[in-house]
Amino acid sequence: MKNHTSLTSSIQAFIVCVALATSTAQATNATEVEPNNIIGAAQNIDNDFSVGANPDIQDADIWPWVSISASGDGTFDYYAFEVPTGGVTGVFDIDYGGGLGGTIDTELCLYASDGTFLAGNDDDSTYISDGAGGSTSHLDSYLSYAFIAPGTYVIGVGRFNTYCNTGGMTGATPHVGQIYELQVSLSAHGLDSDGDGVADDVDCNPYSDLNPTVVFESCDSGVSNTLFADGCTIADLAHACADDTKNHETFSSCVATVTKDLMKAAEITGSGKGMIQSCAAQSDLAK
C-alpha cells in the first residue's frame, strides 16, 4: 500500500462533501508481550489506547486508557508510552493482583526513557476510592503522576520487595504464573486506533480500511490502496459513498466521481479507475 504525502484539493473537497464519519475509539484490552524485562525492551502500548466504559478505570469515558493483562515469568515487566505534551496526568493502577483471587503484592516504578526514576508506589491505602473497581486489597499498587514535559515514559511492575533504582528495578520479580491487570490512563494521548500513523484527532477516518488493495466485499480490484497523509485511503473514499447515498445507483455514481478525481490527480490509472468501478458495481453496498 502506497503512502502519499497529501491529497489534491479536488479530493479534499470531495471528502468534505461526503463527510466521512468518525467515532470514539472502541475500548479494547491488551496482553503483556515478553520479553519486556528491561527499560530498553519495554512493551510499547501506544497503539492500545482507547476511550470507552470500563468499570475498573476512573474517567474511562473521558481519558484514553490501556488495560493490560499480564502474567509473571520471573522477570520485571516494563511498558512504554508517549506523553504528547507537558501538563498531562498519568494514572497507573494495578487490579486483580493482591485481591479477588490474586496472589501478587505489586510495586510500581515510573521512569523517563533514559532510566531516570520519577515516582513509585508499593501499597495503596485508599484502594477503595482510587482507580474505580478491580481492587479489594491495599496490595494493589496505585500511582498518579503529573508529567512536566512530553516524551517517552516507562512504567515498571515488580513484586514486593522491589527497589526503584535509576536505570531500572531490582529486587523481587513477579513469580511465574502470578497475574495482574495494569490500567494506564492519560489525560491526553495521541490515539491512533487503526495504527496508520495518523492520530485520531486529525485522522479523516480513525478506522481506515488498510487492505493493500481496494476491495468491495468479495471483489478485489487489485488497485493499490493508497494511504494519504490525512489518514484516509482510497478504499475509505470509495466506501464513504455507501454511507452517503440511498441506493446502489447513486453509490456507483459517487464511486465514479471519486475515481475520476483520483485519476486526474494521477493517484490511479484509467484501468485502475475501471477496476474499482467494476467491483463497486458488483457489490451489494447501498442496495
Inter-residue contact 127 to 140 (CB < 8 Å) = yes
In a domain, 2, yes or no: no
Cα–Cα distance, 227 to 245 (Å, whole number): 24
Question: Is residue 166 located within the same domain as residue 244?
Answer: no
In a domain, 250, yes or no: yes
Question: Is residue 77 located within the same domain as residue 134?
Answer: yes
In a domain, 268, yes or no: yes
The pLDDT, as a whole number, for residue 242 is 86
Find the CATH number of the domain harbouring 157: 2.60.120.380
Among candidate residues 133, 160, 186, the one where a domain is terminated: 186
Q: Give the range of the structural domain holding residue 224, as residue numbers without chain letter.
A: 9-22+195-282
Over residues 108-129, mean pLDDT: 95
- What global pTM score does this model have? 0.66
In a domain, 3, yes or no: no
Question: Is residue 166 located within the same domain as residue 48?
Answer: yes
Inter-residue contact 116 to 191 (CB < 8 Å) = no
Cα–Cα distance, 14 to 231 (Å, whole number): 15
pLDDT digits (tens, 9 = 90+) for 173-216: 999 999 999 999 999 888 787 888 887 777 888 889 999 999 99
Please provide residue 140's backbone torsions phi and psi, each rounded to the nearest 5 degrees. -80, 115
pLDDT digits (tens, 9 = 90+) for 16-71: 444 343 333 445 689 999 999 999 999 999 988 888 889 999 899 889 899 999 99
100-104, 110-114, 122-126, 252-256 — most confident range: 110-114
pLDDT digits (tens, 9 = 90+) for 259-276: 999 999 999 999 999 999
Question: Is residue 141 located within the same domain as residue 250?
Answer: no
Read off the C-alpha cell for 49: 489506547
pLDDT digits (tens, 9 = 90+) for 90-105: 999 999 998 766 789 9
In a domain, 203, yes or no: yes
In a domain, 102, yes or no: yes
The pLDDT, as a whole number, for residue 229 is 85
Chain centre distance of CA 208: 13
Question: Is residue 121 located within the same domain as residue 240?
Answer: no
Question: Is residue 154 located within the same domain as residue 209?
Answer: no
Read off the C-alpha cell for 177: 504464573
In a domain, 223, yes or no: yes
Question: Is residue 142 located within the same domain as residue 61?
Answer: yes
Question: Is residue 37 located within the same domain as residue 154?
Answer: yes
Among candidate residues 120, 155, 186, the one where a domain is terminated: 186
Question: Is residue 145 located within the same domain as residue 67?
Answer: yes
Is the pLDDT at 147 greater than 60? The verdict is yes
Among candidate residues 117, 151, 186, the one where a domain is terminated: 186
In a domain, 229, yes or no: yes
How many domains is the chain built from? 2
pLDDT digits (tens, 9 = 90+) for 236-255: 999 988 886 778 889 999 99
The pLDDT, as a whole number, for residue 7 is 56
The alpha-helical segments, DSSP class H, found in 86-244 are 234-243
The pLDDT, as a whole number, for residue 10 is 47
Cα–Cα distance, 216 to 218 (Å, whole number): 6
Q: Which of 127-131, 244-248, 255-259 has the lowest mean pLDDT?
A: 244-248
Question: Is residue 170 located within the same domain as residue 214?
Answer: no
